Structure 1
Amino acid sequence: MIKQETVDKILDTARIEEVVGNFMELKKRGTSLIGLCPFHNEKTPSFNVSVNKGIYKCFGCGAGGDAVRFVMEHEKYSYPEALKYLAQKYHIEVVETERTPEQLAAQDKRESLFIVTNWAGKFFRETLWDTEEGRTIGLNYFKERGYREDIIQKFELGYSPEGWAALYDQAKIAGYKDEFLETTGLVIRRSADQEGAYDRFRGRVMFPIHNLTGRILGFGGRTLKTDKKTPKYVNSPESEVYHKSDVLYGLFFAKKAILDADHCYLVEGYADVLSMHQAGVENVVSSSGTSLTSGQIRLVSRYTKNVTILYDGDEAGIKASLRGTDMLLEEGLNVKVLLFPDGNDPDSYVQRFGSTAFKQYIAEHQQDFIFYKTHVLLRGAGNDPVKRAEIIHDVVESIALIPDAIKASVFVRECSTLLDIEERILIAELNKIRIGNARKSGRKPDTLPAQPTAIDPPAEAGVEDKNSGMSSDVLQEREIVRILLHYGSTAAAWEANSEIPIAPLLLSGLSDLSFDDPACLLVINVFKEYIARNELPDERVFVAHQDRRIADLAVDLLSSKYSLSPNWNDEKRKIYVPHESERLEDLVYGAIYRIKKRKVEQQMVRIREEMKTEKDETDMELMLANYQKLKDVSKIIAEKLGTIVIK
């Protein structure tokens, strides 16, 4: 186990904006940072990072927590694994207490798979650089392709020996289990009547595939043989750590450059990524020769909304891939394309013309995907009216996928000229397609011209929406907890003894009440435990709490979907909107009186129900007397709240 002092140091050092920013693009909005949530598919940012509070919260799917929770959820790490990741990031030495045999035996399987793949990566690298076979065959191949040694080392390229079980034999000597070697696809079990296993990647140059933190997930292996029966590439199979549809080759090395440039180049193969890095263009990733998936597109959209797809010169292949490219538009990305001439791809063009010419060609020849698609399809249609009608429909289908109404309108206007057809006809066709798509998905169609949509007014702090599905009792209890989390350690300046913090004052005012919501009660109990020791817990105690009920509630109540624009407090216009922290006395006593009034009214309702069936006159008189007392109390509380009771 990791010592508590080390855990505290990690939590103190980790910066939420830096941790989250390693995995996705964040933009400043008011006092917070926002981005597209990595935990669910969305086109409008609802993922909020509060730097001051050290937490994140998605107001779309509800995900939230601190830096440790983000790493756990994003990378599917256990709590200790997430702490170790952050410790490594911030160069903190991890001090662990000795683990029991039971704990060692329960080592996480996923971590074991990572250990095996990363060991294999080291084995392939050492074989490439340190063995005669590796240098003669593997290293010579890379150098013949024009790759510098620094690029070979940067991407941790390697070589798998020709022998049937070179890796397997070394893995067994190192103590790795067959179970993990087989699951990661490094080896293949022999037939039932034979013992042992053989290497999957024998005789191939190796391209390790990294996750966003740099750990190796799997491999792509390229054969150097010319035998047509031998597949050119062999890839790691799907496993608990490697899901091909959710991985982009080179993203670990490209993410900073993508953020800096606010642009991503998308290529087909490993070699294209290597050549572009060598040419000084580092904001590039590869789909590894497969059709784009929604998972891969969402990965890109975390870092930028601007994508350029680099095609080779095969127009037939380009036409076949146009449909898949439409997925980028549907995700709200700005898509450009670039066609290399004379059958070149990014790799061959760099090798042939050099870095400077390559960068210049990219800058001068990329164009919007919609216009490019229109030109490509029109070239094949000639003057055939039927084919032109099909092209018009195909192009409008692509525009219909664009969620931004203004952008879609611009493309409609431009394409009406390219296609030589009236704009109103294109709009009518687009609306028909959108209505059809909406019916299939059961949602409301978004047609052109775009209609203005009503904007929901900001909610008052601490007040839940009517659609929250929570009872008034729970909402009031959560308001108490919200005040404790935000202002519990703040001094009650209005009291005679102004050094008294709000937390003990508030809880003493509610000592005669019980809390019904389990999560609220857990937080209240933590406060009571600290107060009993003459201490007060800070926000981190709750946000980083191991009980997810406490942590989730804390994140929910510490997060705010809305923030007041700084333009509202304007000396020139004499506009000033006070913050709730400036009226803490009213906030605290208002919360106490409201929840007490609610509890009293509940007791009154219960007594009225009991009186309906009560037969005994003496008991009835006692009930009436008790009811009158409660009514008097309710009236006093109502007066305190400044309300008028009609009854």
Structure 2
Amino acid sequence: MIDQVTVDKVLETANSQIVEVVSDYVTLRRRGINYLGNCPFHNEKTPSFTVSPHKGIFKCFGCGEGGNALNFVMKHDQLSFVDAIKFLGKKFNIEIEEEEYSPEQLKQKNERESMMVLSEFAGHFFSSNLTDSDEGKSVGLGYLRTRGFRDDIIEKFQLGYSPEQRDAFTNEAIKQGYKLEYLEKTGLTVVRDNYQADRFRGRVMFPIHSLAGKVIAFGGRILKNDKKTAKYLNSPESEIYHKSRVVYGIYHAKQEITRQDRCFLVEGYTDVLAFHQSGISNVVASSGTALTSDQIRLIARFTKNITIIYDGDPAGLKASLRGIDLVLAEGMNVKILLLPDGEDPDSFAKGRNEEQLLTYINAHEQDFIKFKTSLLLEEAQNDPIKKAQLIQDIVRSISIIPDSITRSVYVKECSTLLKVDEHILMQETGKLQRKKQEEDYRRNIPRAQQVASTAVEPQTAAAKSKDTAPNPLELEEREILRFLVKYGERPVNPDDEEPISVGQYILHELKQDDLLSVNPVYNKMMEAYDAGCANTQTPTLKFFVNNSDPELSRLASDLIGKEHDLSKIHQKFGVVTNAEELLPKLVPKIVMELKWKKVKTIIKEKRLLVQKYEVSGNSDAMMEEMKELITWQQVLAHISKELDGRTIV
């Protein structure tokens, strides 16, 4: 493992020399204090790619790519975080100091490496059998050619053939010195007592590659007509292969996905091959398994735009709706393409060239609202009950979209398509969001804390139970609520021509960043205040203290009753005087404090995940988390600047 001191040293040096790093790949010309060149991540004739040596960052104003020197190298060379650090360390003559592995970590690392080497050997074995053996050429290669696949596509994806003989591969692997233990762990060999046999015998082989291009697993298609045997067989889960985190073809597609800023998602291996053969390479497959959040996040590392291509099978379409919701939940822009009846992506692509395919896709793809509406309206027909259920179903999908602006756009479109009042749809969306937040809260916070948090200070509740996980933002959230209920009508900018109230300011700031609390009672108070403002009746302290909802009444009383203790937070700002007179300073400050602490919490979680994935050897996941960590550190630096230069730790 690379120690953090070394990582920080490499980052500091590389960012201070970012022009030198980028100049190895891009011809830069000085323009003022910055440098300009053609972006390496998309095709452009007019330079829009800028490098700022003063800030240590790059930014393309054409495609939107940006970041520091490490981000540039990782993206351009498709390197993992660790490999990029080593690359930059070598470039700037920085010795990479690595911490020693514990015996357990060393064993895990050696085991992973042994399984990776074995998988590479298996890939070569199957590939050579396809092209060099009589059985492979007549059976395996013959099948692929009848399916219309060219030799260059077969070679590109390293397709192969596993002989029909029961243990042909196992015997050869053992002969070459590979251990039976790893043959079993990779799933290449089935071992039962004294019985051992090849898992994939008599099948055309589709190697599954990691993001770095290493063979980590296989899919095999049987060529005999045997109803008792599965047509496709995949490698089982192993130390190096987790099917829920892998999409087929990502290694071959990642650069084109980045360049096109778009990804096509199909179902099977041959669908991917057919698209590549037609000239479209920004395509991946879920390999026949149900789409997972990890797979979507993998694609999201290269683009936020995804088109899912389905054939017209009704049963398959219904099952696809869950996958669409997962894509939406990850903040992706999703479109759906339904192929004509009787066509699948494989057959459809083979009859068309790249231009014809793209023309058809662009003309027929739909956003998820239109797709889901047309699909479910056909079933509902004129039944008002079914139509109401349809609306609820679509609103549920909209509610899981993380970006508030995107949600509002979809609500407007849904309102137009289904002829339902936009305000009602927005209310229902908000309810579903709050319900999910409360479910998450109850699932993660012990019952004892749920009861205590509405009546006593969180520290008191935490003291009663070692199992309690206190809300790290408790102090700031409660102080914000206290300002809301006590000073909500007062102006936060009394000297401006158009003053904004404390309540309006707080609601705007929290809404734009989706800063919901883990405590549902706090969210309920915000909701009640928002609803009152919408009805032009700004809630007052009396409204909350005398509220018919006992939770709101208790919380309001608790906030004001413990006002002296809560106001100690003002000491952070150097304020120990009348809070009401200093609202213009206190309110923005405490909101910014909340954001600062929230980002600090996220950074802490990201660092733990980076350490976890580094120990397990999952470099792809570690790279993803590290990229997010760097982004959040930049956000923290910006907020710290707003907070008058608070030290970042």
Where on the TM-score scale, by shorter chain, does this alignment land: which range? 0.5 to 0.7
Cα deviation code 1:201-251 (max 9, x no counterpart) = 000000000001100010000001111111001110111100000001000
TM-score scaled to structure 2, two decimals? 0.57
**Kept after mapping to 2: 8 A contact 1:370/1:398:** no
Q: In the alignment, what sits opposite 1:146? A: 148
Q: In the alignment, what sits opposite 2:392? A: 393
SS of 2:411's equivalent in the other structure is helix
Cα deviation code 1:524-557 (max 9, x no counterpart) = xxxxxxxxxxxxxxxxxxxxxxxxxxxx9xx99x
Q: In the alignment, what sits opposite 2:508? A: 452
Amino acid at match of 1:453: E
Q: Mark the CA change 1:298 to 1:83 in structure 2 (over 3 Å): closer, same or farther.
A: closer
Larger displacement relative to structure 2 (363-372 or 207-216): 363-372
Q: In the alignment, what sits opposite 1:295? A: 294
The structure with the larger Rg is 1
Supply the distance in 2 between the matched residues of 1:148 and 1:68 (Cα, whole angstroms): 27
Supply the distance in 1 between the matched residues of 2:142 and 2:273 (Cα, whole angstroms): 16
Q: Mark the CA change 1:116 to 1:355 in structure 2 (over 3 Å): closer, same or farther.
A: same
Cα deviation code 1:256-310 (max 9, x no counterpart) = 0000011111111001100111111111111101111111011011111111000
Q: Mark the CA change 1:413 to 1:214 in structure 2 (over 3 Å): closer, same or farther.
A: same
SS of 2:508's equivalent in the other structure is coil
Supply the distance in 1 between the matched residues of 2:379 and 2:257 (Cα, whole angstroms): 35
Q: Which is helix-richer, 1 or 2?
A: 2
1:111 CA drift (Å)? 0.4
1:83 CA drift (Å)? 8.9
Q: In the alignment, what sits opposite 1:365? A: 364
1:352-431 mapped onto 2 (5 Å cutoff): 352-431=351-430
Q: Percent identity?
A: 45
Q: In the alignment, what sits opposite 2:464? A: none
SS of 2:351's equivalent in the other structure is helix
Q: Mark the CA change 1:211 to 1:13 in structure 2 (over 3 Å): closer, same or farther.
A: farther
**Kept after mapping to 1: 8 A contact 2:278/2:352:** no
SS of 1:265's equivalent in the other structure is strand
1:114-513 mapped onto 2 (5 Å cutoff): 114-190=116-192, 192=193, 194=194, 197-442=196-441, 451-453=507-509
1:108 CA drift (Å)? 0.9
Supply the distance in 1 between the matched residues of 2:396 and 2:634 (Cα, whole angstroms): 38
**Kept after mapping to 1: 8 A contact 2:278/2:350:** no
TM-score scaled to structure 1, two decimals? 0.57
Q: Mark the CA change 1:373 to 1:154 in structure 2 (over 3 Å): closer, same or farther.
A: same
Name the structure, 1 or 2, with higher relative contact order (CA <8 Å, separation 6+).
Answer: 1
1:34 CA drift (Å)? 9.5
1:71 CA drift (Å)? 3.7
Cα deviation code 1:375-401 (max 9, x no counterpart) = 110011110111101101001111111
Q: Mark the CA change 1:392 to 1:13 in structure 2 (over 3 Å): closer, same or farther.
A: closer
Q: Mark the CA change 1:390 to 1:467 in structure 2 (over 3 Å): closer, same or farther.
A: closer
Amino acid at match of 1:186: L
Supply the distance in 2 between the matched residues of 1:469 and 1:138 (Cα, whole angstroms): 55
1:315 CA drift (Å)? 2.4
1:22 CA drift (Å)? 13
**Kept after mapping to 2: 8 A contact 1:309/1:335:** yes
Amino acid at match of 2:164: E
Supply the distance in 1 between the matched residues of 2:304 and 2:175 (Cα, whole angstroms): 48
Q: Which 5+ residue runs of structure 2 have no aligned equivalent? A: 1-9, 26-38, 42-48, 94-102, 443-476, 478-505, 514-586, 602-625
Q: Mark the CA change 1:466 to 1:183 in structure 2 (over 3 Å): closer, same or farther.
A: closer
Q: CA RMSD in A?
A: 4.7
Supply the distance in 1 between the matched residues of 2:161 and 2:179 (Cα, whole angstroms): 22
Amino acid at match of 1:108: N
**Kept after mapping to 2: 8 A contact 1:309/1:336:** yes
Larger displacement relative to structure 2 (10-19 or 380-389): 10-19
Q: Which 5+ residue runs of structure 1 have no aligned equivalent? A: 1-9, 36-44, 57-63, 73-81, 93-101, 445-449, 471-551, 569-576, 581-590, 592-647
Amino acid at match of 1:131: S
SS of 1:122's equivalent in the other structure is helix
Supply the distance in 2 between the matched residues of 1:403 and 1:215 (Cα, whole angstroms): 34
Amino acid at match of 1:274: L
1:602-613 mapped onto 2 (5 Å cutoff): none
1:520-539 mapped onto 2 (5 Å cutoff): none
Q: Mark the CA change 1:70 to 1:466 in structure 2 (over 3 Å): closer, same or farther.
A: same
Amino acid at match of 1:144: T
1:345 CA drift (Å)? 1.1
1:430 CA drift (Å)? 1.5
Supply the distance in 2 between the matched residues of 1:250 and 1:111 (Cα, whole angstroms): 22
Q: Mark the CA change 1:344 to 1:162 in structure 2 (over 3 Å): closer, same or farther.
A: same
Q: In the alignment, what sits opposite 1:588? A: none
Q: In the alignment, what sits opposite 2:68? A: 50
Q: In the alignment, what sits opposite 2:617? A: none
1:452 CA drift (Å)? 2.2
Q: Mark the CA change 1:13 to 1:436 in structure 2 (over 3 Å): closer, same or farther.
A: closer
Supply the distance in 2 between the matched residues of 1:276 and 1:429 (Cα, whole angstroms): 41
Amino acid at match of 2:200: F
